[in-house]
Amino acid sequence: MCGIIGYIGDKQAAPILLDGLEKLEYRGYDSAGLSLLDDGKINTIKTKGKILNLRRRVDLDYSGDSCIGIGHTRWATHGKPSDINSHPHSSFDGKFSVVHNGIIENFVTLRQDLKNEGIRFRSETDTEVVAQLLAKHYNGDIKQTIMKVLNIIEGAYSLGILCADYPDEIWAVRNASPLIIGLGEGENFLASDITAVLKHTKEIYQLNDGEFCCLKKNSVQVFAPDGTPIEKEKVTVDWNVEAAEKGGYKHFMLKEIMEEPDAIAKTISPRLTDDNEIVLDDFSLTKEKLENIKKIYILACGSAWHVGMVGKYVIEELTRIPVECDLASEFRYRNPVVDENTLAIVISQSGETADTLAALREAKSRGAKVLSIVNVVGSTIANESDDVIYTWAGPEIAVATTKAYSTQLTIVYLFALYAAKLMGKIDKKEYDEIIAAIRKLPEQVAEVLKMEQDIKTIASRYVYLEHAYFIGRNLDYAVSLEASLKLKEISYIHSEAYAAGELKHGTISLIEDDTFVCALCCQERLFDKTMNSIKEVAARGAETLAVITENCPNPGEECDHIITIPSTHPLIMPSLEVIPLQLLSYYIALSRKCDIHKPRNLAKSVTVE
Ligand code: AGP
């Protein structure tokens, strides 16, 4: 939540910062601002609303040509979105300007203490205490001052700091909130993530918690929390600039849906040899270690948790190890039964989700081995895991995840098969069948995507929906969870997912004339069972849409609409059935004129609790 950026070099900073903020806008978009250092004076321009508003304000109010500055795009936590609460925040003497992503947990006490000393606060934010503390403790030595303030503040923060006395330096701090340093030729950057600086450099430093650094135009010096200089290793990111651009699509979400065949192919092909072996690089889970695992916890949030729900069925089916799929935000605050015979599988696109990271640490502290499935290379979750399997989905910008979800699914299949084979739990015939199905996925997903226009037509019927129910059994239920979230998060339609068999235990009382029920009937052996549920809701007036496979019998008049997709191995079906449902959500939201790129109240990366 919130995106921060900084630039120092020979070019004009404002356009670079604005451009970078646009790339970070998915992290928060209720207000934005810049601070630029001109002739020893900090100019701050900030405003409520999107980056476009800030661009206009910069055009009107700023005539300088500063080559050093910091910027911020906000997802409000402390204080409503307003011009005053927008970042950057300045100190009482105008010497310091600060951008912040995270939460300063002890800000209430700190703020009160500073107020008691006569310091006047302008905003309601937690961030302003950092700027005021810097000014209060400033002794002419910026490094010492920053270290002093870092010892006072508590919580999660990545910070960008400008000091008027240091016109050739930006200082950056990372503690439990993402931050990368982009390394250019005669210019350097700080940013919440790589997409903001990809246009300028692919070389980065990943800072660890507690580390801070000084950026000059020709150098970056990183320090350990105790102030000792440290040598960092450069990481080269292989994402290309186009991957982070809309490339002619109206929304990143549609672009990313269309990229799914390619993303799946990139994720699976390097891991499959010609003779059907699965290769997982640097993987420490040997046959012996896997055989000692008595329980698997899958820990994740949101859509990544929905992947975990698929994982529960698939991993249990293939390996016969019991799997519990837990919401990271719940797991972290209960007393889970975890020991050294537990494997925690942590799933996260960003690798920075605060609850997921906390759950990982909780599992690890109780002795579990951690395997993470992550998209962002070098992210905190990846760094803290014993093993990582990356989803090679490329940058995912849309708040509503699509290609990351799909690539996470494929890694779950590969892991389950790999473990099952190593443990001797699967016969060669079934193993080869599933591998063949996985190999065919990119082509089959592309085939489903050809139904885009039909799905758009179906979506046009549901523009005025108020409520939607997604039902299914077994893996179809796991996919229903994702279909329902996809619809609600971008179209604001109230939507729920139910295991089809659960409907008559209460929820069926909500079904009346024209209630929309989408039934997922892609587990062919359970087709008749789910059809019974369709009949039950249809008899009570529901408008029904069924997603079936080409092998299912035609449900005839029982359903108002039918989407027929290709068939594959039942364990792999989620990868095909989710595609029309992603498109359906997209087109329903589009016809409702919702802001698909910036769904209200949401941000892509949830780095606060
Ligand atoms: C889904 O469309 C959401 N954007 C959200 O549920 C997301 O999957 C969740 O916040 C987890 O994010 P992560 O994968 O980056 O950890």
- Residue ranges with strand state E in 312-412: 323-327, 342-348, 369-374, 387-390
Q: Where are the domains of the chain?
A: 3-244, 254-446, 452-591
Of the candidates 269, 246, 270, which has an alpha carbon nearest to the alpha carbon of residue 258? 246
Q: List C-alpha distances in Å: 223 to 113, 181, 186, 218, 563.
A: 29, 13, 21, 17, 57
pLDDT score at 50: 85
Question: Which residues, other chains included, contact 1 with Cβ-Cβ below 8 Å and sequence gap of 6+?
Answer: 27, 28, 75, 77, 101, 603, 605, 606, 607, 608
Ligand 1: distance of its center to the CA of 83 in Å?
29
Burial class (CB in 10 A: 0-12, 13-18, 19+), 569: middle
Please answer whether residues 487 and 460 qualify as being in contact, where contact means their C-beta atoms are separated by less than 8 angstroms.
no
Please answer whether residues 237 and 30 qualify as being in contact, where contact means their C-beta atoms are separated by less than 8 angstroms.
no
Ligand 1: distance of its center to the CA of 320 in Å?
28
Does ligand 1 have an atom closer than 6 angstroms to the CB of 490?
no
Query: In the Cβ-directed half-sphere of 29, how many Cα atoms lie within 13 Å?
Result: 23
Q: How far apart are CA 207 and CA 560, in angstroms?
A: 54
Three-class SS string for 193-213? CHHHCCCCCCEEEECCCCCEE
Of the candidates 39, 314, 279, which has an alpha carbon nearest to the alpha carbon of residue 164? 39
Ligand 1: distance of its center to the CA of 164 in Å?
39
Same fold, 3-244 and 254-446: no
Q: What is the atom index within ligand 1 of the atom nearest the CA of 381?
A: 16
Among the options 2, 213, 552, 559, which is catalytic? 2
Q: Select from 301, 402, 403 the residue to mutate for testing ligand 1; criterion: most ligand atoms less than 8 Å from CB.
A: 301
Among the options 23, 202, 421, 604, which is catalytic? 604
Dig out the tokens for 440 from the structure: 């065919």
Q: Is the peptide bond before 88 cis (omega within 30 degrees of 0)?
A: yes
Please answer whether residues 311 and 575 qualify as being in contact, where contact means their C-beta atoms are separated by less than 8 angstroms.
no
pLDDT, tens digit, 9 for 90 and up, residues 289-322: 999 999 999 999 999 999 999 999 999 999 999 9
Ligand 1: distance of its center to the CA of 307 in Å?
11
Question: Which residues, other chains included, contact 78 with Cβ-Cβ below 8 Å and sequence gap of 6+?
Answer: 85, 103, 107, 124, 125, 126, 127
pLDDT score at 57: 94
CB atoms within 10 A of CB 210: 14
Q: What residue's CA is closest to ligand 1, atom 10?
A: 302
pLDDT score at 351: 92
Q: Is 275 left (phi over 0), alpha (psi -120 to 50) or beta?
A: alpha
Q: What is the atom index within ligand 1 of the atom nearest the CA of 402?
A: 2
pLDDT score at 379: 84
Q: Extract long-range pairs of 219-226: CB within 8 Å, 24+ residues apart.
A: 219/188, 220/181, 220/183, 220/188, 222/181, 223/143, 225/150
Does ligand 1 have an atom closer than 6 angstroms to the CB of 301?
yes
Second-level CATH architecture of 3-244: 4-Layer Sandwich (3.60)
Does ligand 1 have an atom closer than 6 angstroms to the CB of 188?
no
Reply yes or no on whether 287 is catalytic: no
Ligand 1: distance of its center to the CA of 431 in Å?
31
Query: In the Cβ-directed half-sphere of 435, how many Cα atoms lie within 13 Å?
Result: 21
CB atoms within 10 A of CB 242: 10
With a cut of 70, list the residues of the chain below it in pLDDT: 1
Q: Select from 306, 332, 349, 582 the residue to mutate for testing ligand 1; criterion: most ligand atoms less than 8 Å from CB.
A: 349
Q: How far apart are CA 152 and CA 131, in angstroms?
A: 13
Query: In the Cβ-directed half-sphere of 237, how many Cα atoms lie within 13 Å?
Result: 30
Q: Is 254-446 a CATH 3.90.800.10 domain?
A: no
Q: Walk across the sheet containing 494-499 and list its strands.
A: 494-499, 467-472, 516-521, 543-549, 561-565
Reply yes or no on whether 518 is catalytic: no
Second-level CATH architecture of 452-591: 3-Layer(aba) Sandwich (3.40)
Q: What is the atom index within ligand 1 of the atom nearest the CA of 602?
A: 4
β-pair type (369-374, 342-348): parallel
Does ligand 1 have an atom closer than 6 angstroms to the CB of 489?
yes
Does ligand 1 have an atom closer than 6 angstroms to the CB of 348?
yes
